[in-house]
Structure 1
Amino acid sequence: MTHVLDRIRVGSAPDSWGVWFPDDPRQVPWPRFLDEVAEAGYSWIELGPYGYLPTDPARLTDEVARRGLKVSAGTVFTGLHRGPDVWDSTWEHVARVAALTRDMGARHLVVIPSFWRDDRTAEILEPPELTAAQWTHLARGMERLGHEVRERYGLDIVVHPHADTHIDTAAHVERFLDATDPARVNLCLDTGHYAYCGGDSVRLIETYGERIGYLHLKQVDPGILADVVANGVAFGPAVARGVMCEPPHGVPDLEPVLAAAQKLGVDLFAIVEQDMYPCEPDRPLPVAVRTRRFLRSCGA
């Protein structure tokens, strides 16, 4: 064991059980997810898509507590680059998720930008590059979101760079960070998405360490990724091909990422998210058990 990662709090998420939607017959039922995530040795979870887990705080508190689990974050989806006109509809979605996240004792809200390419059909919805005006809308909108979420719900937002969104590559991530106020907006660094889009997670942590507020741990299969990039495959179909693979068989190497995060000297969640939608219901648990064992071998 090369490092004792005492500042890293490891968890998992519905995503690692093939859950992408609030309700889908191909997904495992939520009680099974909770049972299995606890069985795999994790103590922290995320809420996943709003409506997948029970949304009544009293009921959900009981369900997670009796399995020895706690909630680290909720997740919201936003299209704030479209300007002030989308604020009200965005806030309606955010407020629902933020209230449940707060009521579960969590402190973070993971914010995912909207997709420029449809996750399932690969239809191009918008240009992949934002205009200067859209970058301004995105930056000011995220700052407003960070302010409102903290004022009303006591949560910190962490923006999640994501494949097929406008915050994806190293250049886009750095532009976004440079354009936003660190007091209001920080980053959820997803190691798999960042590698998928050509970024170096260790370098980002070492360069923008004060902006890293949260981690998602995943890896990509370089062989599948090369084919995905060469053929312009959308993210959803790429996941179905297995582009996100079980650690430690892909990139980036997670041990140096965790070591770099530990050196920041702050407490950080590191939530395992192996995108596996859709997947056979018996597949996630053995993967989760092996992944937890691997992370322990790294000191986490």
Structure 2
Amino acid sequence: MRVKLAINPLTWTNDDMPELGAETPLETCLAEAKLAGFAGVELGNKFPRTPAALKPILDAHGLALASGWYGSNLLERDVDAEMEAAEPHIALLSALGCTAMVHCEVTSAIHGNKGKPVAERPVLTEAQWDVLLPRLDEMAKRLGDRGLAMAYHHHMGTLIESEAEIDRMMAGTKHVGLLLDTGHLTFAGGDPVRAAKNHAKRVTHFHAKDIRADVMADVKARNLSFLDSVLAGVFTVPGDGCVDYAAVLPHIAAAGYSGWLVVEAEQDPAIAHPLTYARMGHDNLARFAAAAFG
């Protein structure tokens, strides 16, 4: 199978809410990721951020680095300044053999604000679109010259969240690749199957985050923040929610996708036992992937 399975350490310890899983050491995250069957991991807040420190740790567990999140501020600074700010991250991913960089524009983002309802997230003005898209495209081109595809992560609580915004970003750029996150898109009211069909050739990374439909309806009705929605259990691992992976994955498979499929499902580890859900996510995703990719 030309795709590989990875997991984000959010299953064990949360980046936006460090108190979730704060007591869990990195060793446990990596050992259990391997035990669950994964070949790789994404970066998390407990990972050392230099190649010399991180590579031996991953090698000891037989895990590769799949990618890692980078939050840009391209509405507030030009591409030269953004590339300079991103350089340590770019160097780390490159040194560890990554081929894509998870990228999200986080200017004015509210996903980390527990007191702000996710429905009140910022929306780009026409003038901001005119600034952001050329800068994103130029940064994506420069990353490509460095051997890294930009994998733009549409994300709840940020400037590019909805399916229409994804469509506009794709139409307005040439070099930007898409990180298709099935959970975030479903939460935003979009259709992951349609997005996969429309943008299959531009997908450079994939997050298999599932949604509990009943919880999603409840948190939207209560106008909760992104973080409170996480605590309520809106996200889960693939195959445990309402996303139709059997319909999503064939579109990117037919387009030749050969990157990572990443289980990313932040939950409260005190409620959702990490190893149990890691195993469930791996086994379900492996089954979906085998059917789509052969």
Fold similarity call, TM over 0.5: yes
Percent of aligned positions with the same letter in both sequences?
A: 27
Report if the CA contact (8 A) 1:11-1:42 is conserved: yes
1:250: which partner in 2? 241
In structure 2, distance between residues paired with 1:178 and 1:100: 30
2:281: which partner in 1? 291
In structure 1, distance between residues paired with 2:213 and 2:271: 26
Select the residue among 170, 180, 192 that pairs with 1:189.
Answer: 180
Shift of 1:8: 2.5
Report if the CA contact (8 A) 2:111-2:156 is conserved: no
Shift of 1:87: 6.0
Shift of 1:268: 2.6
Unaligned runs of 5+ in 2: none
Select the residue among 9, 12, 20 that pairs with 2:7.
Answer: 12
2:194: which partner in 1? 203
* 2:242 match: secondary structure: coil
2:251: which partner in 1? 260
Aligned residues: 287
In structure 2, distance between residues paired with 1:188 and 1:257: 13
In structure 2, distance between residues paired with 1:265 and 1:203: 17
Q: Please, what is the CA RMSD of the aligned residues?
A: 2.4
Select the residue among 40, 54, 61 that pairs with 2:55.
Answer: 61
Shift of 1:271: 0.5
1:279: which partner in 2? 269
Relative to structure 1, the CA distance from residue 299 to residue 56 in structure 2 (aligned partners, 3 Å threshold; closer, same or farther) is: closer
Amino acid paired to 1:195 = T
In structure 2, distance between residues paired with 1:204 and 1:160: 13
Report if the CA contact (8 A) 1:113-1:162 is conserved: no
2:153: which partner in 1? 160
Report if the CA contact (8 A) 1:161-1:188 is conserved: yes
Shift of 1:297: 2.7
Q: Does 1:228 align with 2:214?
A: no
Q: Over residues 257-283 of structure 1, what are the superposed CA-to-partner deviations in whole Å (9 max), with x where a residue is unaligned?
A: 22222121231311110112x422981
- TM-score of the superposition, structure 1-length normalised? 0.87
In structure 2, distance between residues paired with 1:256 and 1:165: 27
Higher relative contact order (CA 8 A, sep 6+): 1
Unaligned runs of 5+ in 1: 1-5
Report if the CA contact (8 A) 1:76-1:93 is conserved: no
1:3: which partner in 2? none
In structure 2, distance between residues paired with 1:287 and 1:237: 20
Shift of 1:157: 0.9
In structure 2, distance between residues paired with 1:218 and 1:124: 21
In structure 2, distance between residues paired with 1:204 and 1:112: 18
Shift of 1:204: 1.1
In structure 1, distance between residues paired with 2:220 and 2:283: 31
Shift of 1:19: 2.6
Shift of 1:171: 0.8
2:110: which partner in 1? 117
